[in-house]
Chains A and B, each alone.
Chain A
Amino acid sequence: MQLQYFLLIAAALFCIGIYGLVTSRNAVRVLMSIELMLNAVNLNLVAFANYLDPQGIKGQVFTTFVIAIAAAEAAVGLAIVLSIYRNRDTIDMEQFNLLKW
């Protein structure tokens, strides 16, 4: 097992997250894609902590923070989606294009 494989799989997960983030029409799926990306970051942090900093494991501490903040962000994100839904009766991202040119 090498560090590169962890990094590559994290990058792959990040890209899948990006894909999902940019292409999803469902707002909740957008939030889910963000979660994927955060998890990819977490993978990176854990891998670096394991291979480069086994004594200090600062990466794992970072990961803890990221998970906590991701949870808070998801809560706020879902709240925003809910408030939009209340007003517009939809969570389709294609419908939220009011602020164009």
Chain B
Amino acid sequence: MSHPLVQSMWLIPLYTMLGAALSFFLFSGITRRTGPRPAGYLNIVMTLTAFIHSSIALIYAWDAPAVDFSVPWLNVASLDLSIPFHIDAAAITACVVITGLNLMAQVFAMGYLEMDWGWARFFSLMAFFEAGMNFLVLTDSLFFSYIALELLTLGTYLLVGLWFNQSLVVTGARDAFLTKRIGDLFLLMGVVALLPIAGTWNYTELAEWAKTADVDPTLMGLLGFALLFGPMGKCAQFPLHLWLDEAMEGPVPGTILRNAIVVQVGAWVVVKLQPVLSLSPPVRTATLVIGSITAVGGALIAIAQVDIKRNLSYPTSAYMGLVFIAVGTGHTQAALLLSVTHALGMALMVMSSSAVIWNSVTQDVTQLGGLWSRRPISGISLAIGAAGLVALPPFGGFWAILRLVEDLWASHSPLCFVVLAVNLFLSFSFTRLFCRVFLGQPGQMSERCPEVHWPMALPMVVTTGFMLHVPILLSVVGLLPDWLSLDKGIALVVIWSTLTGIGGAAAIYLGNFVQKPVRLPWPGLQDLFAYDFYTPQLYRNTVVLVVSLFSKLVNWFDQYLIDGIANFFGLATLVSGQSLKYSTSGQSQFYILTILLGLTVIGLWLSLPLLSNLSVIQP
């Protein structure tokens, strides 16, 4: 019998849902006098409750077997839609990470949104997000994962569109919703098609089924692509990555969540679906190709950005690409390790950069600089976050990437170079960011820039501490390779790639021998990366163009052909009435003529048999 706290893990999504619901009463249209701040405090308390609950549950569930139970939801005909929960250590760990980072983000938001009236809306959306994510990691059904993913898509739309009086926010929220929605819809196709084939939506049963499954390879390929497409949109993978860039228009604490965790939920589904996806070799290859392209492309684009937030959104795509590579090669543990380090590191970096933005107004890195002496907390946070993301020992990212490279080295050695290149580019990109924001001469906008106040500094410091503890935690839970079995050659190469990136960026941006702003010898290439491979134009000229042309065509068809036919009948009736009224000539003699003609015709018709008889008799 497991501990009651483990048994009641299903409460975790409900805590924050309750917070979201209660925030409603503090909307500024409803509570008009006292302001919406209690909504923030309430949601922080709820998140704290969820965090404490899941943390204690984790202690009890660590070595215990997984708890499975299901809540009946809908039972019609032969379809049984109960909500299955599969509560194991991994799920509870995910809950701890989600609630913990939410707590950090919400405390941060308390400081960041100090001069904002939209607390109730913001915090209820954050809580909504949190509930969706917790539900996603606790449920053991692909179907309910899909439901949670859709809730998160809606949540993204609303949260990105928080400040909807800004036009870029509106377009960004639109793109975020539509892009993720397309992925979700493909996922739905896959989900629906999977049931008749596998007979179940439960991840554990799917994994069992996949071991012995004998399915038509074409069918399995199509199914696998559909199942892959949803997480592709969710994880902001090429070519569905533009939304993450545009989602940076939203409020920053939301960005913490999105960069750190929301993109991870796609990865969670992909990891859970790994046994099914690996049934089809083309899908595996596609996962690797998509992951590689995104990882390399995202890392390169990140280098060429001037917007501090976009500088961090593309590495998210790149890191998720690495997760895709790990899943595509079947190394789910490396994928989960990458996800956890990314969640912490990216949250830290976004917090730090937001702290800089809060006091420096601009997001343009070319106008910042020289903050290190005055803003050490933000600087250290950014540095630790970056160090925890790239392969720099002894931080968490090193072990994750090392694990991935070691796993890949045996079976997919070419992919090792992709991972190393991505690591190098990301190191370069993060170092460039650090050098441009914290080192060098103070920029125009950072001449006088104080450190932030406590609600923003506290979560940064706490997360930094947690980031520093990741290697210790990993060694406690036995995820670190022991020193003897460690492949020192690979480790050295990995470290070397990081150091090359860091050193290169530091040399370029701190040294005086390259003119700033740095121009590549090929401006076209630099613009290509800076404008994200011109993805908006790509969308506009392909999918958007086709859909808009088609909808115009259909609209024309509807307006003129379908409506035209219906209107034609009405018009014809009108015209016939208008023209046939002239049969009423007003001449009584004409009426008499009509009567006589009618009589003649009826008479002829009645005597037709008689007349035909006559003609027969006559000869």
Seen from chain A, the residues whose Cβ lies within 8 Å of a Cβ on chain B are 18, 21-24, 30, 93-94, 96-101
Q: Which of B34-42, B218-226, B553-561, B577-585 contacts A (4 or more CB under 8 A)?
A: B577-585
Q: What CA separation (Å) do A5 and B58 show in the bound complex?
A: 122
B361 adjacent to chain A (CB < 8 Å): no
Having A96-B586, A98-B586, A101-B581, one finds 15 other A-B pairs with CB under 8 Å, namely A21-B589, A21-B592, A22-B590, A22-B592, A22-B596, A94-B587, A96-B588, A97-B587, A99-B584, A100-B584, A100-B585, A100-B586, A100-B587, A101-B584, A101-B586
Q: Which residue of A lies closest to B578 (CB)?
A: A101
Residue from the set A24, A93, A98, A100 with the largest chain B CB neighbour count within 10 Å: A100
Contact B589 A30 (CB under 8 A): yes
A100 to B590, CA, bound (A): 11
Task: Say yes or no: A97 contacts B585, CB within 8 Å.
Answer: yes
Q: In the assembled complex, how far is the CB of residue B43 from the closest CB belonging to chain A, in whole angstroms?
A: 76
Q: Which residues of A contact B592 (CB under 8 A)?
A: 21-22
Partner of B582 from A30, A97, A101 at Cβ < 8 Å: A101
A–B complex contacts, Cβ < 8 Å, 28 sampled:
A18-B596, A21-B592, A22-B589, A22-B590, A22-B592, A22-B593, A22-B596, A23-B589, A24-B589, A30-B589, A93-B587, A93-B588, A93-B589, A94-B587, A96-B586, A96-B587, A97-B585, A98-B586, A99-B584, A99-B586, A100-B584, A100-B585, A100-B586, A100-B587, A101-B581, A101-B582, A101-B584, A101-B586
Whole-angstrom distance from the CB of A42 to the nearest CB of chain B? 19
**A-B interface, 9 closest residue pairs, ranked by CB to CB distance from nearest:** A100-B586, A97-B586, A101-B581, A22-B593, A101-B584, A22-B589, A97-B587, A99-B586, A100-B585
Whole-angstrom distance between the Cβ of B418 and the nearest chain A Cβ: 86
User: Separation in Å of the B602 CB from the closest CB of chain A?
Assistant: 16
Mask: chain B, 563-601; 1 = CB below 8 Å from A; 0 = not: 000000000000000000110111111101100100000
> Considering the complex, which residues of chain B in the window 206-228 have a beta carbon less than 8 Å from any beta carbon of chain A?
none
Q: How far is the CA of A24 from the CA of B588 in the complex (A)?
A: 11
What residues on A are CB-neighbors of B590 within 8 Å?
A: 22
Chain B residues, CB < 8 A from A30: 589
- Chain A positions within 8 Å of B586 at CB level: 96-101
Taken together as a complex, chains A and B put the C-alpha atoms of A45 and B592 apart, in Å, by: 23
Q: Which residues of A contact B581 (CB under 8 A)?
A: 101
Looking at A23, A98, A99, the one whose CB has the most chain B CB atoms below 10 A away is A99
B597–chain A nearest beta-carbon distance, Å: 10
- Within the complex, the shortest CB–CB distance from B575 to chain A, in Å, comes to 15
CA distance A76 to B389 in the complex (A): 115
Which chain B residues border A23 with CB–CB below 8 Å? 589
Q: B589 contacts which chain A residues (CB < 8 A)?
A: 21-24, 30, 93
Note all chain A residues with C-beta closer than 8 A to B588: 93, 96
Chain A: minimal CB distance from B585 (Å): 6
- Tell me the complex Cα distance, A97–B587, Å: 5
A95 to chain B, nearest CB (A): 10
